[in-house]
Amino acid sequence: MTSTTTPAAASSPETSPTTAPPTWLPVAAVAVTLVFWASAFVAIRHLGEDFSPGALSLGRLLVGTLCLGVVALSRGVPHPTRRQWLSIVAIGVLWFGVYNVALNEGERRVDAGTAAMLIQISPVLIAFLAAAFLHERFTLYLGIGLALAFAGVGLISLSISNGDGGSDVLGVVLCLVSAVVYSISLILQKPLVARLPAIHVVWLACTVGTLVCLPFLGQLVDQAHDAPASSILWVVYLGVFPTAIAFTTYAFALNHMSATSLGVTTYLVPPITIVMGVVLLDEAPPAMAYVGGALALVGVAVARRKPRTLAVGVSPPA
């Protein structure tokens, strides 16, 4: 696990020596997040037969918004500035709206472990975007890591493509779309949680995502009527744990770690997901997908390397 003592954290107004949380707390928040997010891949895959991608997204976000709202409003009413609202709306549309619909559709075409490995390239994308927009340094290692990560994605695509060039490749593309919008959202969220309570940022963005998915309300009502009770409980689980709890703990950790360091911790999600998929769904990625996933992880590791001449104290703005 990456150290939580970073230049970015030191410069944040919420992480001064008098208000900084214990060192273990952000680490624990990340651990909770990773386990719940890994379980989400398995739950989404399981629910693919009972709920369409849009209906599942709306059901998950409705539950998540209600749970987050109870906690958020108990801590006061948020008052974002106009500029902050623009970022919140963008995060809601991208991370809570587009991400969920694209991933849900993608997991109808690829197994849970493969989807998790594809989302895993996001740390490299985050590092690239942080270099472009948060003034973190773009290095040769980052460029090489980006190339290796996408080479790994290529191997994963080859491993699951069927003979007619069909739908499985589309599943890969949809998972990559989710990875891209996730990365963009993390970069947008980093400055917000330095100035607004993390719970308010997550709740408002989740509410925006729910509104974006409202056109799927008719599908949700019809499909929930026909779905078994166990599937409805899984939708509730997705809203409470991987959404309400995990997004809150992740936003908290983001306020005390750099965007790049926190993004890299998600490399643990694929192996956790694969184990859960084997145990709960009796499925696993194709053999070549493991090679592609490993190559992508190597790319992430390379992208994390810093040149020896990197100046201490280079950090994104607070």
Reported as a single tens digit per residue, the pLDDT across 76-99 is 888 999 999 999 999 999 999 999
pLDDT top residue among 22 and 187: 187
The pTM for the full model equals: 0.79
Owner of token pair 């995990």: 246
Chain segment 268-277, per-residue pLDDT in tens: 888 889 989 9
CB 4 within 8 A of CB 23: yes
pLDDT top residue among 221 and 30: 221
Q: What are the tokens at 265?
A: 């911790």
The rounded Cα 191 to chain-centroid distance in angstroms is 17
Q: Which range (55-59, 113-117, 137-141, 204-208) has the least confidence?
A: 137-141
Distance from C-alpha of 299 to C-alpha of 117, rounded to nearest angstrom: 12
Q: Which range (46-50, 56-60, 165-169, 243-247) has the least confidence?
A: 165-169
What angle, 0 to 180 degrees and rounded to 10, lies between the N-to-C axes of helices 53-73 and 246-254? 60
**pLDDT of res. 259:** 62
Q: Looking at residues 1-7, what average pLDDT do you find?
A: 32
Query: Is residue 264 very low, low, confident or very high in pLDDT (cuts 50, 70, 90)?
Result: low
Residue 294 has pLDDT above 70, yes or no: yes
Owner of token pair 């769904």: 281
**Integer-rounded Cα radius of gyration of the chain:** 19
**pLDDT of res. 137:** 73
Element containing residue 27 per DSSP (H, E): helix 24-47
Domain positions in the chain: 23-304
What percent of the chain has a predicted confidence (pLDDT) above 90?
A: 40
Quick one: 24 exposed, middle or buried, by C-beta within 10 A (0-12, 13-18, 19+)? exposed
Q: Looking at residues 16-38, what average pLDDT do you find?
A: 80
**CA triplet 25, 237, 69: central angle to 5 degrees?**
65
Residue 45 has pLDDT above 50, yes or no: yes
Q: What is the mean pLDDT of the chain?
A: 82
CB 132 within 8 A of CB 262: no
pLDDT top residue among 81 and 305: 81
CB contact set of 71 (below 8 Å; sequence gap of 6+)? 199, 203, 244, 248
Query: How long is the chain?
Result: 318
Query: Is residue 317 very low, low, confident or very high in pLDDT (cuts 50, 70, 90)?
Result: very low
Is the four-CA dihedral 15, 20, 23, 29 of positive or negative sign? negative
Residue 208 has pLDDT above 80, yes or no: yes
**pLDDT of res. 263:** 63
Q: What per-residue string of b and e applies to 105-142 under the rule 16 or more CB within 10 Å gives b?
A: bbbbbbbbbbbbbbbbbbbbbbbbbbbeebebeebebb
Q: Which range (87-96, 141-150, 158-167) has the least confidence?
A: 158-167
